[in-house]
Structures are given as C-alpha cells and as structure tokens.
Amino acid sequence: MRGTVQGVGFRPFVYRTACELGLSGWVGNDSRGVLLEAQGTPSALSALVRLLTSRPPPLAVVEQVEVLAVPVQAATGFVIAVTDVGGVPDVRVSADVAPCEACLAEVGDPADRRAGYPFVNCTDCGPRYTIVRAVPYDRPGTTMAPFTMCPPCQAEYDDPADRRFHAQPNACPDCGPTATWTAAGGGQLVGASALAAAADSLRSGGIVAVKGVGGYHLACDARDATAVEELRRRKQRPDQPLAVMVSDLAAADELCELDQEARAAVVSSRRPIVLAAVRPGADLAAEIAPRLTEVGVMLPSSPLHVLLLDAVARPLVMTSGNRSGEPVLHRDEQAHQVLGPLTDGVLAHDRAIHVRVDDSVLRSRTGGRLQMLRRARGWVPQPIRLPVPATSPVLAVGAQLKSTVALARGGTVVLSQHLGDLDAWPAYQAFAEAVEHLVGLTGVPPAVVAHDLHPDYRSTGWASQCGLPLLGVQHHHAHVAACLVEHGMHSPVLGIAFDGAGWGTDGTSWGGEFLVADLSRSTRVGHLAPVALPGGDAAVREPWRVALAWLHRSLGAEVAAEHGPRWDARWPAVLALAASGRAPETTSMGRLFDAVAALLGVVSHVTYEGQAAIELEALARTADPRKTPAYAFAVTAGRLDPGPALAELLEDRARGVPVAQLSAGFHRALAEASAELAAQAASQHHLDTVALTGGVFANVVLGDQLAERLRGRGLRVLQHVQLPPGDGSISVGQAAIAAACTSA
C-alpha cells in the first residue's frame, strides 16, 4: 500500500481488520509504504483489500494498492512486523495534526496519568512531518528517539487494542518531553510551573516566546493595546497584521464573522490561521490589524497551546518568532538567542523540531471558497495530483519571494512548506535544507531541475550550480501552470497573471500579463502598459515613486510635479529619473496598486510586501457599492492603459469623494478592462477558459469582480483555492511544466 500510510495508524488498522476477518500473516512499514502478507479464505482476503481502501484511518491517503500471490507458509495469528529499513524510500509522511478529542479528554481528567500533560498524542493526532528526520516513519527516525518509553507507555504502544498502538511520538509525564520556562531575568522552571509562569507573564502584559509545532511564536495578550504595541516595536513589525489564537470556536465567533466553510477550516485538525471580517465591537486591540477590516484567527495547534490558552483565558497574539523578513526560528539555541532579548520569557520544551513549518493561512471570502494564502503546517507534505505525470523525477526550486520547492515523481508532486523570502540568508539556508529533506524523503535524485528565468534569484543560482539538467520556466507561465494543476487541466487557457514582478522572456520585468498557455507552451498576448520603475527595489518599498512615474507617463511632468512634494523631499530626482528613460520599465500590476494607493493618500511608504494593495482592498470592501464611480482604462491591441482612470481618480479626489469610493472605482475599472481584454484574446485564440493567477489575486474584491465579468461573457474561470495565488505556487507550476515537457 502506498500513499500517506505511515504515522497515521495504518498498521494497527490493518492488524485489527485482519484479525476481524480471521486472517493470519503480518504487516510492516517499509521504505515504500506499508507491506503486508495475509493468508486465509479467498473471500476474507478480498474483503481485506476492499476494507483497506474503503475505510482507512482518518489521516491516511491510500494512493496505490498492489496485490500479488506468494507461496503459503505456515503461520498462525496476525502480527505487526519489525520495521524493514532497506530499499529506496518513497513514502508519504503525514502532516502534523492538532490534538484529538480523546487526547484532550485525558489532559483534562485529573485522574488520568496524562492530566495537564502538554505532549499527549496518539495514532490519530500529534506532531508528524515536523519531527521526522528520515523514513521509514518509526520512532528512531524522529526527534522522539532520545525518549525511552516507560513501561505503561510501552504497553500502550505494544497493545493492538490500544489507541496508542504504534503511535511513534507516544509519551507521558514520566518518560516524554518536558516544558520549560526561562525567564528574561534568569531562572528556569519545568513542567506545570513552567506553563503557569508563562500564563502569569502573558496575563500581566508580558511578551512570551512559545515553542509551537513547527517553530517559535511571539505571544501577548490580544486585548492589551500596550502589549501589542510593545510586541510590534520589539519585533520591528509596525503594520503587518498579527494572528490571534483563541481557545475554541465560540471565542473565534466572538471576534470575527465566520461562514460555514471558514468555521470548518478553523476547527479542522490542520488548524490554519483563517482571515475573516472582524465583528464590530470585537474585544481586540486595534493594533492587531491597523487599517484592515479582517483578522486572522486560529485554534490551538498543540496540547501545549490548549493548556496555555486555558490558563490565560483570553485571546493571544501568536505571530511567527523571527527577525523581520527571516524564517520562523525552530532550533532552541538560536530561538533563545534571538527571541530571549525580545521577550519576558521563553516557554519551550525538549522535543526537537526537525523541520521548520509556519502556520498556514487561509482567507475567507463571502459566497466563495476559502482561499489558501500560505500553505504550510497541516498541509505539507500532502501530495498534489499532476495533470501530466512526471516520467522522471523533477525538482522545482520556485522563485525568490514566498519561496517553496516542489518534487514531482510519477503522478503527484509534493510542495514544500512556505520558506520565506530568499533575500534573507537564513531563508536561503531553509531553502537548501528543504531541498535536501524533500529529496531525502523520496531517496531518488531528481533527473531535471526546473527554475525561474530570473538570473538573480537565489533559487536560480542554486539550480545553476547543482550539476543536473536544467529547465528554465518563465515566471508567469509557472503561475498559470499552478492554476492548471489545481484544476487538473492541461489544455490551453487564457491566463491572467497579475503579480509584483517576474522576469519576462524579453528580459524586462513583467507582472500584468495575459498569456495563452498550456503546460508546455506560453505566449504573451496582452499586458499592462509599461511604466518606469524609478529606483528599482526602493520603488517597491516606496509606492510614491511609481505613483510619480505613472503620473508622468499618463498626465505629464507638470501634473507629476504638483503631486511630488506631498510624498517625499526626494521627488525632483525621482521624477527626473522617471522622465529620463534610463529607469527600468515594468508591466507590474502590483506596482499599479502601489501607485494608486499613493495617489489616493492611503500609503506612500510600506513596511511589508503587498501592504498598499491590501489596504486599498480593505477600503474598497467598506465602500457603498451603489456609489462606486465608473472609471475607464484604455484597452487597445492587447494593452491595458490605466491613464484615463488615473486622471478621473485625481479629479474625484480633489472634489472630496471618499477614498473608499475611489478605491472601489479603481477595482471595478480594472476588473472591467481586464475582462474586456481577456474576452478579446480568448475569442481571437478560440479559448473558452480563463485562469486567474499571481499574487495580486490574493485580492478577492478584484478576483471576484473579474470572475463575475468573465462568466458574464460566457467564459469559464479557474481560480486558486488549495494553492496560494502568489509565488508560493511557482514551484508547483514549474514542476508541472517540466513533467509535461519531459514526458512529451
């Protein structure tokens, strides 16, 4: 049996099923999955095969069952065989799972031997991917190896009737990991008093580092404005929204408006952060998500979090424990070093995290499906089906920002967790570790490495030095391919790829693209009008620069000079650069959102990626739809020109039209113009399907309005659901393209 069959209680399940059917034989893990031999009556044997696939344990995903006849040997009873560690590993490790009801009941029962124990788990729950060092999945291959089970734990582990039969991370207060509290002023506490000290600190306004499932968090009281401000100051994160952990669904309901699908995601055993509209009057510090209308909530992802939330009895900010722009910290020594000075204490434990995995982030959208924004804990390393199987293994190394890597083999691809922005050296190290871990888990060296065309991406640099055959994939082609993977398609579509930046086939920076593409080819058939990007990277951090460039391009130097002084004293030099023709040009849609945000006075300097667009969208959501002004782009010969709309926006702004209406008007005009250009291109190229992809489509106002208009023109629309629309999916797209190109 192959698939996600190790670490999910599969062997005990086989054992119980075989015993029920009166079969004798054995079951064991091997490097390729679960191997079993059974003998008995033909009808019992076929019942076994049927039951193994029709009612597997909750966390198992059976991908393949191979049945063959072997000579009968004398055997009585059914046993679980010792692990065979030979062969080439090719096994699906399960994702990490939040504590199950049965385990939580034990933690809450004062008479239970695991009462109040923060590391309780069983075959249905607990850490998995984050603790696995090597396959096959067995205790010696995990970070639980140093803990020797006590006799009662060993008895559970050995008893086929027990819920913990072969639960690899099985532990109890006598033999398992222990919580520790290290106070900033010195002094250490262990066990229950460690948890109590952390809770005391949080209740009195402290900032605490907490070791979670896939890394450390920084926590504070989410109702305490002073604590939240202090956390922002210490972490040097002034604006980016912070996630909030609450004890249960009722507490989440008090904070935000969750529809049925969002509620199901919040309580699911994957325990993601779900972004949803803040309930008016919610008891939360305003500093959690400044100027935004949504908040990210999650329920406890481990028993340690359950106990901490119980003890504190209020919502807690839970934000990644890292230096700004760097990946989440997961090694204890480093975490203490970096986070110790930022906090009043560190709540940790002695079970090592082998693989760092961030919290996953989903966004709730009214009337629509949930949208994945960051795919990590709870999803990784769950495989994704490929539209065209990979005949030889492909490693895809992704882009630069929101980096992920992917490994395709046969009919599926495994996407790594979100690794961060490779500009930061520690993120590049995480990238290199993720490649090694992913290849290690499959044990087969890739035959092809797919990479972005951008020569300066660190992922491209890694590829160029790996010594394997390479396949360069255009950035926006990869975006469209990722969207095709989600929908199991490989026939040509019209792809609309809107993002911040990607290397074009002409060597310029693209980002507002209309492509005719399938998994093996892509042709650019339309794009946003190009504009100067004065100052390169500085123009990304300072939206006013590109606003000046758009003004100059659309309305001339005089109008640009009128607006310059309200943004930055350096405006004359920047305007001169934009006018000189020496600045690089871009067709980036992300930069157009930046420009509009600056023009409308929303934000002129940003502190996190996507901030301008996120704040503009939040404004558009609050606007009265009956009062949305009608603006127009010029759409000609495969080109979108926002010039006319920019002029109208400025006029209306001068007339005092509320900025929310202006933002709504911009969104609507962009959706209308994009739909028009798409419809023209689709008809010209005889296509009936449009794929919406790229980081700009994290914006659901734009995505939903554009989708509605495309459907109104008789087109089928593909949108991202299970994969993030942004660069986190680039590696999947690259892998799918490489698979299609090498199989042809």
The site for Fe ion (CB under 5 A) is made up of 499, 502, 727
Q: Quick one: 124 or 344, whose CB is closer to Zn ion? A: 124
Residue 118 C-beta: closest distance to Zn ion, Å: 13
Q: Quick one: 315 or 502, whose CB is closer to Fe ion? A: 502
Per CB under 5 A, the list member of 125, 292, 579, 692 interacting with Zn ion is 125
Residue 513 C-beta: closest distance to Fe ion, Å: 10
Pairing of strands 179-183, 188-190: antiparallel
Q: Which does 551 bind (CB under 5 to 8 A by kind): Zn ion, Fe ion, none?
A: none
Q: Which does 158 bind (CB under 5 to 8 A by kind): Zn ion, Fe ion, none?
A: none
Q: Which does 106 bind (CB under 5 to 8 A by kind): Zn ion, Fe ion, none?
A: none
HEC readout, 246-258: CCCHHHHHHHECC
3 state DSSP class of 37: strand
Q: Which residues have CB under 8 Å from 172's CB, separation 6+?
A: 113, 114, 117, 120, 150, 152, 153
Q: Which does 687 bind (CB under 5 to 8 A by kind): Fe ion, Zn ion, none?
A: none
- 104 contacts Zn ion (rule: CB under 5 A): no
Q: Which does 103 bind (CB under 5 to 8 A by kind): Fe ion, Zn ion, none?
A: Zn ion
HEC readout, 618-662: HHHHHCCHHHCCCCCCEEECCEEECHHHHHHHHHHHHCCCCHHHH
- 732 contacts Zn ion (rule: CB under 5 A): no
Q: Which does 727 bind (CB under 5 to 8 A by kind): Zn ion, Fe ion, none?
A: Fe ion
Q: Quick one: 101 or 537, whose CB is closer to Fe ion? A: 537
- 299 contacts Zn ion (rule: CB under 5 A): no
- What is the distance between the alpha carbons of residues 707 and 699, in angstroms, rounded to a whole number? 12
Helix runs in 324-424, H state only: 332-339
Q: Which does 499 bind (CB under 5 to 8 A by kind): Fe ion, Zn ion, none?
A: Fe ion
Residue 92 C-beta: closest distance to Zn ion, Å: 20
Please spell the DSSP secondary structure of 261-317, one letter per residue.
Answer: HHHHHHHSTT--EEEEEBPTT-SS-GGGSTT-SEEEEE--SSHHHHHHHHHH-S-EE
Q: Tell me which stretch binds Zn ion (CB under 5 A): 13-21, 96-104, 315-323, 537-545.
A: 96-104
Neighbours of 464 (CB within 10 A): 13
- 59 contacts Zn ion (rule: CB under 5 A): no
- 635 contacts Zn ion (rule: CB under 5 A): no
Pairing of strands 470-473, 522-528: unpaired
Number of residues that bind Zn ion (CB under 5 A): 10
- 484 contacts Zn ion (rule: CB under 5 A): no
Q: Quick one: 122 or 372, whose CB is closer to Zn ion? A: 122
Q: Quick one: 124 or 230, whose CB is closer to Zn ion? A: 124
Residue 86 C-beta: closest distance to Fe ion, Å: 42
Residue 404 C-beta: closest distance to Fe ion, Å: 12
- Find the residue with minimal CB distance to Fe ion: 499
Q: Tell me which stretch binds Zn ion (CB under 5 A): 18-26, 77-85, 152-160, 205-213.
A: 152-160
* Helices first, then strands: H and E counts in the chain: 23, 29
- What is the distance between the alpha carbons of residues 525 and 544, in angstroms, rounded to a whole number? 30
The answer to whether 270 and 417 have CB atoms below 8 angstroms apart is no
Residue 306 C-beta: closest distance to Zn ion, Å: 12
Q: Quick one: 7 or 728, whose CB is closer to Zn ion? A: 7
Per CB under 5 A, the list member of 122, 413, 473, 678 interacting with Zn ion is 122
Please spell the DSSP secondary structure of 222-236, one letter per residue.
Answer: TT-HHHHHHHHHHHT
Residue 514 C-beta: closest distance to Fe ion, Å: 15
Helix runs in 371-464, H state only: 425-442, 458-464
- 210 contacts Zn ion (rule: CB under 5 A): no
- 150 contacts Zn ion (rule: CB under 5 A): yes
- What is the distance between the alpha carbons of residues 601 and 519, in angstroms, rounded to a whole number? 41
- 144 contacts Zn ion (rule: CB under 5 A): no
Residue 192 C-beta: closest distance to Zn ion, Å: 16
Binding mask 154-183 vs Zn ion (x if CB under 5 A, - otherwise)? Answer: ------------------x-xx--------
Binding mask 15-34 vs Zn ion (x if CB under 5 A, - otherwise)? Answer: --------------------
- 306 contacts Zn ion (rule: CB under 5 A): no
Q: Cα angle vertex 414, ends 411, 419, to 5°?
A: 160
Q: Quick one: 100 or 390, whose CB is closer to Zn ion? A: 100
Task: Please confirm whether the linkage preceding 136 is cis (ω < 30° from 0).
Answer: yes
Q: Quick one: 409 or 476, whose CB is closer to Fe ion? A: 476
- What is the distance between the alpha carbons of residues 511 and 502, in angstroms, rounded to a whole number? 6
Phi, psi of 599 (to 5 degrees): -60, -35
Q: Cα angle vertex 465, ends 385, 522, to 5°?
A: 45
Q: Which does 172 bind (CB under 5 to 8 A by kind): Zn ion, Fe ion, none?
A: Zn ion
Task: Please confirm whether the linkage preceding 381 is cis (ω < 30° from 0).
Answer: yes
Q: How many CA atoms lie within 13 A of 619 on its CB side?
A: 24
- 723 contacts Zn ion (rule: CB under 5 A): no
Residue 282 C-beta: closest distance to Fe ion, Å: 34
- Specify burial of residue 492 (Cβ count, 10 A radius: 0-12, 13-18, 19+): buried
Per CB under 5 A, the list member of 153, 289, 598, 737 interacting with Zn ion is 153
- 289 contacts Zn ion (rule: CB under 5 A): no
- What is the distance between the alpha carbons of residues 197 and 206, in angstroms, rounded to a whole number? 11
Residue 174 C-beta: closest distance to Zn ion, Å: 5
Whole-number CA gyration radius for the chain: 27
Residue 594 C-beta: closest distance to Zn ion, Å: 47
Residue 102 C-beta: closest distance to Zn ion, Å: 5
**CA nearest neighbour of 318 among 222, 219, 228, 206:** 219
Q: Tell me which stretch binds Zn ion (CB under 5 A): 52-60, 123-131, 456-464, 665-673.
A: 123-131
Q: Is the dihedral of CA 348, 328, 444, 736 positive or negative?
A: positive
Q: Quick one: 101 or 333, whose CB is closer to Zn ion? A: 101
The answer to whether 297 and 172 have CB atoms below 8 angstroms apart is no
The answer to whether 179 and 210 have CB atoms below 8 angstroms apart is no
Contacts to Zn ion by CB under 5 A: 100, 103, 122, 124-125, 150, 153, 172, 174-175
